[in-house]
Structure 1
Amino acid sequence: MRYHTHIVSSLAIGAGIATYTPVSFTIAYAAGLAIGGLLPDIDEPNSYIGRRSLGVAKQVKKAFGHRGFTHSLLAWGAITAVLLLQHFSSFTLGLCLGYAFHVLADYCSSQGVPLLWPFSKKRYRFIVTYRTSSFFETVLFYCFLALFIYFLTNGAIEEQGSLFLF
């Protein structure tokens, strides 16, 4: 999945969560969703986040390969445990959710993800998949964009200005 689709899908699902739960859709939460939606691709130096990682992506790819450790439940669980248990905030909640949404989106891709890494390197994928940069991914992007706009205009932001609360 391309970076902009990861961002929009994370924001759309996160706005849906804010619409139907007590979670507030704040700028900090949205920033966390967007960054978390990109973070697993720190294992690819040519990715949007990898090109901005000051060499970290090269080291991560060398150690684990692309769609290795960073796309596993173990990585998500470790990040979630550290951030939410020790530094809970709207931003860290968004970051952890965005990370999970990224792994879920790549789970639906034809390449799949190694959910059970390091116990198994098998890549799991959903029954229906898409190819990165395909026409279907473009359709997904616009569907998530429409869903994001829908949630923002129908309940994600409860009172005027709440988007700017931290």
Structure 2
Amino acid sequence: MLTPTHLVAGQTAYLAVCVASGNPPAPNEALVALGAAMLPDLDSRQSYIGRLVPPLSTWIGTRFGHRTLTHSLAAQVVALIIAWWLIPTGYFIALAAGWISHSVADMMTRSGVCWFWPSLARCVLPGNPRYRMEVLGHGELWFLSIMVLLGLVLMPLAQRAEGTTGLIRSAIGDIATARRDFDADKGRLAFTLTLRGRDNLSYADVSGTYSVIGPWREDGFLIATSGGPRSSCGSTACDWYAAHADLTRAGAQTTTSFELRAEVTSAEAIRTALAPLAADEIYLLGTFIAPESKAALPTVAISGDEVTLFYATPPMLDAWSTRALTAVELTVQARHAPGVDPGQLGPIGPAAPTIDPRIMRWLE
């Protein structure tokens, strides 16, 4: 086969292994797959890679012959065992997919490959020579076209990085299963959730794709919508009922957590302490005491004088802009790109002098 056909077949094989293994495809790995797809033709001086290193190519071709050593299972096994210990998993996948795809593609030609070299027996696919391909013939052109189309189909599946089992689970669309997948990777990846479902109160259709803020109870999600955060699960115990849920990895993301404690402070002091953080998203989880507060479910819950924040954003603190907050115990989640320094919390100042609203109403 010609080099372009091997390059396309190598890329398609790499994407297929990425889909099966859950390894997200990367440009550097794709380049390794391209190189590996050309590597076996080192035994031919007429090949593209052979012309790059003619002395080595001439020596291999003269000593061992074409489609023997470099195309053989023995060479692949030895090289890949060594590579397994020396290079990252993604590069190993690219090397194996590109190299093995070359041998398999050459088996589909009339001359076949000495895959079990040093045996000179030629391995071919299929056994009937009528269905094997001629170099630059119609069969190779059809094969090239099929590989291109298959690669286009595999690319979006590979980018999901879910593996074969994950893709099957996504097709089923069970939200409890999606939640288990989320729990396994939370803190290091960002996610989106594609829903088919309805509002539990209005019965309005809420189908769409939403960014995942965090978990909700045992088997649901807290998601970002145009109307604010909403909880979604497989029952009526949340805002939205999800008949079908497909969790998708939206890219690498690191979560760094900070503890924020104060006996007495204010919302403005907390906002000032959060200001130095260099993060794409900041969420607050925890409790403080602020009498006569109002709930804003699902992110703000009230029990007596105690306020519980659940993935609340800093602007939500404006509801207590003129209030003193006591017994503050918050966890701050800063979500940012991997390798980016999110900074540190600033100093937490005391609350500005205020009059307790329970007294203020007697002064008005």
Match of 1:92 in 2: 92
Match of 1:6 in 2: 6
* 1:143 paired to 2:143: no
Give the CA RMSD over aligned residues.
1.8
Query: Which amino acid in the other structure matches residue 31 of structure 2?
Result: A
Q: Give the Cα–Cα distance (whole angstroms) in 2 for the partners of residues 160 and 113 of structure 1.
A: 42
How many residues align? The count is 160
CA offsets 1:28-72 (integer angstroms, 9 cap, x no match): 221121111110000001101111125211111111111111111
| TM-score, normalisation: structure 1 | 0.88
* 1:123 paired to 2:111: no
Query: What stretches of structure 1 move > 4 A for 4+ residues in a row?
Result: 159-162
Q: Give the Cα–Cα distance (whole angstroms) in 2 for the partners of residues 48 and 161 of structure 1.
A: 36
Identity of aligned residues (%): 24
Deviation at 1:160, TM superposition (A): 6.5
Q: Give the Cα–Cα distance (whole angstroms) in 2 for the partners of residues 17 and 92 of structure 1.
A: 11
- Please say if residues 79 and 96 of structure 1, whose CA atoms lie closer than 8 Å, have aligned partners that are also in contact: no
- Please say if residues 28 and 90 of structure 1, whose CA atoms lie closer than 8 Å, have aligned partners that are also in contact: no
Query: Which amino acid in the other structure matches residue 108 of structure 2?
Result: C
Q: Give the Cα–Cα distance (whole angstroms) in 1 for the partners of residues 53 and 90 of structure 2.
A: 24
Q: Give the Cα–Cα distance (whole angstroms) in 1 for the partners of residues 56 and 152 of structure 2.
A: 34
| SS at 1:67 equivalent | coil
Match of 2:137 in 1: 134
Pick closer, same or farther for the CA change 1:160–1:61 going to 2, 3 Å.
farther
Deviation at 1:20, TM superposition (A): 3.1
Query: Which amino acid in the other structure matches residue 126 of structure 1?
Result: L
| SS at 1:113 equivalent | coil
Deviation at 1:86, TM superposition (A): 2.8
Q: Give the Cα–Cα distance (whole angstroms) in 1 for the partners of residues 135 and 42 of structure 2.
A: 17
* 1:107 paired to 2:110: no
Match of 2:31 in 1: 31
Gaps of 5+ in 1: none
Match of 1:81 in 2: 81
Pick closer, same or farther for the CA change 1:103–1:78 going to 2, 3 Å.
same
The structure where strand makes up a greater share of residues is: 2
CA offsets 1:59-89 (integer angstroms, 9 cap, x no match): 1111111111111101111111111123334
Gaps of 5+ in 2: 161-248, 253-364
The structure where helix makes up a greater share of residues is: 1
| TM-score, normalisation: structure 2 | 0.42
